[in-house]
Structure 1
Amino acid sequence: MDVSFEASLPLEVSMKLEAPRKLPNIMEVSDYAEDIYLYLREMEVKFKLNVDYMKNQPDTIENLRVLLLNWLVVEGQLLELQNETLHLAVNYFNRYLSLEPVSPETLQLLGIAALRLATKFEEAYPLRIIQLIHHRAGQYTKKQISEMECRMLQVLAFHLALPTINQFLTQYFLHQQQPNPHVESLAMFLGELCLVDTVTYLKYLPSVTAGAAFHLALYTVTGKSWPESLVQKTGYTLETLKPCLMDLHWTYFSASQHAVYSIPEKYRKPMYHGVAHIPPPETLNLE
């Protein structure tokens, strides 16, 4: 019995292949977008850290924290992580420090655990990245890292889906203008600089800091100001953002001497349009 394809009944099938339909971003679907935004605003208030969140930690922890942030930024680039993964890892790390005393010897282990959890939560293909993080973890065993992850989950009460500066920027503020890669990259650069100076920027909610970063980037690159559409959407005016804008303007001026040197280095690269080379404006438009 001939069962070859040639012996099959002749069929003429005309099939028109269509390009895959692009699924809508749920954040941009009008039926959901406003509710999601309001939920994020509620969550950022609920989980806001105090400026003195490290008061119960040893004095040496703050300096070591800066070194660890350098490491996280570098690892994020080497592993090609999403920027949101970095922001989440820093969020988990800071919140853990606010709740549990940590010895200097275990600080890097805590950072590794935070990065792994953020990777599992945010990245599309976390397994390969998790394996690479483990290979780069130095003196820590897989068992030690897993135990610290479990401990971090317990301390954070499994609250991992929290709003960040980056989330407000990328999902809301940067959509309020015509695409401009320089504005987008500069806003993300400024947002990352704020992760380091907790004494200054924990005074502000992530949405406020994101708004200040967006306005400063928009004004620096295009000369434009905080749009009326965002006043309507957020309730924030330039007067609302002014204290954070003043702080961020100073941070921008001192970026080349920033303690976490890896952030300016990252944003000097072509993939971010070299925005770290863009000089800050001498004055701010606050009207």
Structure 2
Amino acid sequence: MAEPEESSFIQHQSSMMPQQVPINDHIPVYFVPEDEVIENIDADDIANPYTCSIYSTDVYAYLKQLEVSHRPTPNYLQKQPQLNARTRAYCIDWLADLHRTLSRTYQASLQADTLFTSISLFDRFLSVRQIPQDKPYLAAISCFLIATKFEETYYPSVNQLLRFAPKVGTKEDILKMERFILSDLRYTVGSPTPLTFLKRFAKASHADPTLGMLSRYMSEYSLMNYSLATNYLPSQIASSAIAHSRIIAGQTPWTATLQYYTGYSYQELADCMREMKVAVQKAPLLKTQTIYRKYASSKYLKAAITASKHI
């Protein structure tokens, strides 16, 4: 299978890459004051029937259980002799470009959840089945097809997907791989992703559009990183992204309210935050540029540029 930069719709722009910058993985030390008041972030929504706020605590407690039972196997590539972290990164970059290309092509943009779910399916599938060296992109696009069916009201057909990615295989190949994936995962498509938790944690942080976009970028870009995506739970990635965004915005890294609603102390996030910081700093330097370029645009408040410069 060709590397993604050789596909029909991937175009890496090396001219956008800045000069090498020093990497700093230092995380500021901070302790939440013991007497800091915990806010009730659902208080204003009690009378709103659309938020179902009375169930929020139970829903997210259940999602915390699901993220553990449905997580990919940490370091699963050790059992994939034909694949490595570099190949996985190209596959994720390829999926991100497919997601963005389809969103630009059709009138209705694809949901952000579709990309997150497709990556989750990809990692979970590779955790349970070995695939040959020439099949990762076929598995990736099949995961993408399943995710669109799960997340979207209107989803692209296999023929439409092949129009943008003709080299991955035939229609029959994709449908066969789709059956393998669903069977191996026992049809458990719905699984919490960092974006699932980010929506809740951003509310607990009183995130404005800038902070919200920064945390979304860092959560999404973290999925490019094999170690982050497989060694940390989605809620940890979302929490770490919020903490980094607050630091960039000049706020205290953590609050009693965030500690309560995320379930993590600031100290418990240190390892994840450190890896995320290094990954974000390296983002402009790598060939896998799709997510970085997307969030470097004005539409996304140039969050990628801000994060890389100030994290």
The answer on 1:161 being equivalent to 2:190 is yes
SS of the aligned residue for 1:202 comes to helix
The answer on 1:219 being equivalent to 2:226 is no
1:99 to 109, 120, 128: 128
Residue 188 of structure 2 aligns to which amino acid in structure 1?
Answer: H
Residue 190 of structure 1 aligns to which amino acid in structure 2?
Answer: M
Per the TM alignment, residue 100 of structure 1 is displaced from its structure 2 partner at its CA by 0.9
Q: CA–CA distance in 2 between the matches of 1:279 and 1:240? A: 22
SS of the aligned residue for 2:78 comes to coil
Per the TM alignment, residue 54 of structure 1 is displaced from its structure 2 partner at its CA by 1.6
The answer on 1:241 being equivalent to 2:264 is no
Aligned to 1:9: none
Aligned to 2:87: 64
Residue 215 of structure 2 aligns to which amino acid in structure 1?
Answer: A
Q: CA–CA distance in 1 between the matches of 2:207 and 2:158? A: 33
Q: Is the 8 A contact 2:239 2:262 kept in 1?
A: no
The answer on 1:257 being equivalent to 2:285 is yes
Q: CA–CA distance in 2 between the matches of 1:129 and 1:205? A: 32
| Of 211-220 and 140-149, the range deviating more from structure 2 | 140-149
Aligned to 2:36: none
Per the TM alignment, residue 64 of structure 1 is displaced from its structure 2 partner at its CA by 2.4
The answer on 1:82 being equivalent to 2:111 is yes
Residue 176 of structure 2 aligns to which amino acid in structure 1?
Answer: E
Q: Is the 8 A contact 2:205 2:258 kept in 1?
A: no
Q: Is the 8 A contact 1:220 1:281 kept in 2?
A: no
Per the TM alignment, residue 24 of structure 1 is displaced from its structure 2 partner at its CA by 4.7
Q: CA–CA distance in 2 between the matches of 1:111 and 1:39? A: 28
1:186-197 pair list within 5 angstroms: 186-197=214-225
CA offset digits 1:56-83 (Å, max 9, x no partner): 2134443322221111111111112222
The structure-2 alpha-carbon separation of the partners of 1:131 and 1:188, relative to structure 1 and needing over 3 Å to count, comes to farther
The answer on 1:119 being equivalent to 2:142 is no
Unmatched 5+ stretches in structure 1: 1-22
Q: CA–CA distance in 2 between the matches of 1:280 and 1:56? A: 33
Aligned to 1:267: 295
The answer on 1:73 being equivalent to 2:96 is yes
The answer on 1:209 being equivalent to 2:232 is no
| Of 111-120 and 98-107, the range deviating more from structure 2 | 98-107
Q: CA–CA distance in 1 between the matches of 2:273 and 2:59? A: 26
SS of the aligned residue for 1:50 comes to coil
Per the TM alignment, residue 177 of structure 1 is displaced from its structure 2 partner at its CA by 3.8
Residue 77 of structure 2 aligns to which amino acid in structure 1?
Answer: M
Per the TM alignment, residue 98 of structure 1 is displaced from its structure 2 partner at its CA by 1.1
Residue 148 of structure 2 aligns to which amino acid in structure 1?
Answer: T
Q: CA–CA distance in 1 between the matches of 2:118 and 2:129? A: 16
The answer on 1:35 being equivalent to 2:58 is yes
Return the TM-score normalized by structure 2.
0.76
Per the TM alignment, residue 155 of structure 1 is displaced from its structure 2 partner at its CA by 0.8
The higher radius of gyration belongs to: 1
The structure-2 alpha-carbon separation of the partners of 1:177 and 1:129, relative to structure 1 and needing over 3 Å to count, comes to farther
Per the TM alignment, residue 194 of structure 1 is displaced from its structure 2 partner at its CA by 1.3
Q: Is the 8 A contact 2:284 2:308 kept in 1?
A: no
The answer on 1:108 being equivalent to 2:131 is no
The structure-2 alpha-carbon separation of the partners of 1:167 and 1:154, relative to structure 1 and needing over 3 Å to count, comes to same
Q: CA–CA distance in 2 between the matches of 1:137 and 1:29? A: 41
Q: What is the count of residue pairs matched by the alignment?
A: 257
Aligned to 1:47: 70
Q: Answer 1 or 2: higher relative contact order, Cα 8 Å, separation at least 6.
A: 2
CA offset digits 1:233-276 (Å, max 9, x no partner): 23311112122112222222222123521111111112111111
Per the TM alignment, residue 224 of structure 1 is displaced from its structure 2 partner at its CA by 3.4
Q: Is the 8 A contact 2:125 2:184 kept in 1?
A: yes
% identical aligned pairs? 27
Q: CA–CA distance in 1 between the matches of 2:118 and 2:307? A: 29
| Of 195-204 and 94-103, the range deviating more from structure 2 | 195-204
Q: CA–CA distance in 2 between the matches of 1:207 and 1:91? A: 13
Residue 50 of structure 1 aligns to which amino acid in structure 2?
Answer: T
Q: CA–CA distance in 1 between the matches of 2:304 and 2:262? A: 28
Unmatched 5+ stretches in structure 2: 1-47, 104-109
Per the TM alignment, residue 90 of structure 1 is displaced from its structure 2 partner at its CA by 0.8
SS of the aligned residue for 1:278 comes to helix
